[in-house]
Amino acid sequence: MQRDLVIAVIVTHRQAAVATCARARQDERVHTSACVRPTPAVSNPLQEIVALFGYPVAGNPTQYLMEKAFARAGLDWRYLTLEVAPELLADAMRGARAMGFRGGNLTMPHKVTVLPLLDELTDSARLIGAVNCWKRDGDRLIGDNTDGRGFVQSLRTLIDPAGKRFVVLGAGGAARAIAVELALAKATNIIIVNRADGAGQRSQQVPDRGPELADLLVDKLNIPARFVLWQGDFQLPAETDVLINATSIGFGDRQARVPLALDTLRPNMVVADVIINPPRTRLLREAAAQECRTLDGIGMLVNQAAIAFRIWTGRDADTTVLREAVEEYLNL
């Protein structure tokens, strides 16, 4: 019955996709080549399925990106966006295993709670303590985390992280993944800046995320790191090479202000923001006015998608198609 239900969802989803592409062709907003699904080189009576589990997931652009990447590669694969309540995650993962899903993505609030439901973790996922991507390998489900790698690949278009000094604003999932990957990329020093969690009192049961992340970087990755409590406008140390906003400040709000002393920004410093909508956040606009080099969150999203594509298919995605898909989705 479960398999029949999923097939029904897939059929409905494909019909909706065809209708969407037909409408898109009429107003020329979407390239025809991205809507036409090429015939696979080898006929397969069953489509391969990957899926996003999250709660809520409305508005997530990943399906839009992945469907276009599959089409460009000539793969008869489908990507489903499925809303899974927290208490039903274990059932959803058992269903994905039973129905032969090739892999999937996980978004909030499932990135940590999924860990015991997987058979194996990659080294980076184990260090980060969260999973946003998994794949099937035989009968085993292997969890990975592409957040940090996607960011570091995007950063390398402007600067090599090796030997650089970083300030990371925030200590949540994105900040943790980025900080770990920067350490693995041989950053020289990382400062974690975050507001206090709750009452701001550390305990063995529930440590504040900021100090805990700094401790992880020092103890597990042997990199000089420290935590700074975020109070008022943060003053960047003069030796900072790269500033990263890994908070949600600015999401959906072009005027949202990151509490930062703008006079501590230096020309040619790299200022990055993980926010994708809007891509030119107030922080990036203010940094550009100070002659900083800026990096928006779209590159990170595109790279994450490309890494996941390779994890599942063993092939490289067309990143131009992925970038165009993001821009179309955000109406840029």
**Alpha helices (H) along 112-146:** 123-128
Distance CA 196, CA 160 (A): 31
**Would you place residue 44 in the very low, low, confident or very high pLDDT band (cuts 50, 70, 90)?**
low
Furthest C-alpha separation in the chain: 62
Decide if 29 is inside a domain: no
Residues 57 and 176 both lie in one domain: no
**Would you place residue 28 in the very low, low, confident or very high pLDDT band (cuts 50, 70, 90)?**
very low
Decide if 8 is inside a domain: no
Residues 63 and 182 both lie in one domain: no
- Domain of residue 261, CATH code: 3.40.50.720
What pLDDT is attached to residue 58?
85
- The answer, yes or no, to whether residue 128 has pLDDT greater than 60, is yes
186 is catalytic: no
**Would you place residue 69 in the very low, low, confident or very high pLDDT band (cuts 50, 70, 90)?**
very high
Which of 111, 135, 164, 186 is the catalytic position? 111
Residues 106 and 215 both lie in one domain: no
pLDDT digits (tens, 9 = 90+) for 267-300: 999 999 999 889 999 999 999 999 999 999 999 9
Residues 157 and 249 both lie in one domain: yes
What pLDDT is attached to residue 8?
44
Distance CA 249, CA 103 (A): 31
Decide if 103 is inside a domain: yes
What pLDDT is attached to residue 24?
39
Average pLDDT score over residue span 115-119: 97
Per-residue burial over 265-286, b = 16 or more CB atoms within 10 Å of its CB, e = otherwise: beeebbbbbbbbbbbebbbbeb
pLDDT digits (tens, 9 = 90+) for 129-160: 999 999 999 999 999 999 999 999 999 999 99
**Residue 5 CA neighbour count, 13 Å, CB half:** 7
Decide if 27 is inside a domain: no
Residues 173 and 261 both lie in one domain: yes
Residues 180 and 280 both lie in one domain: yes
Average pLDDT value over all residues in the chain: 87
What range does the domain containing 61 cover? 38-145+300-329
* 311 phi and psi angles, rounded to 5 deg: -60, -45
Decide if 117 is inside a domain: yes
Residues 232 and 102 both lie in one domain: no
What pLDDT is attached to residue 63?
95
Residues 251 and 238 both lie in one domain: yes
What pLDDT is attached to residue 33?
37
pLDDT digits (tens, 9 = 90+) for 213-255: 999 999 999 999 999 999 999 999 999 999 999 998 998 899 9
Residues 275 and 155 both lie in one domain: yes
- Domain of residue 320, CATH code: 3.40.50.10860
What pLDDT is attached to residue 9?
43
What pLDDT is attached to residue 12?
43
Decide if 203 is inside a domain: yes
Decide if 313 is inside a domain: yes
Entry pTM: 0.80
pLDDT digits (tens, 9 = 90+) for 161-186: 999 999 999 998 889 999 999 999 99
Structural domain count of the chain? 2
Residues 171 and 292 both lie in one domain: yes
Decide if 271 is inside a domain: yes
Residues 164 and 126 both lie in one domain: no
Residues 119 and 93 both lie in one domain: yes
pLDDT digits (tens, 9 = 90+) for 193-206: 999 765 444 434 44
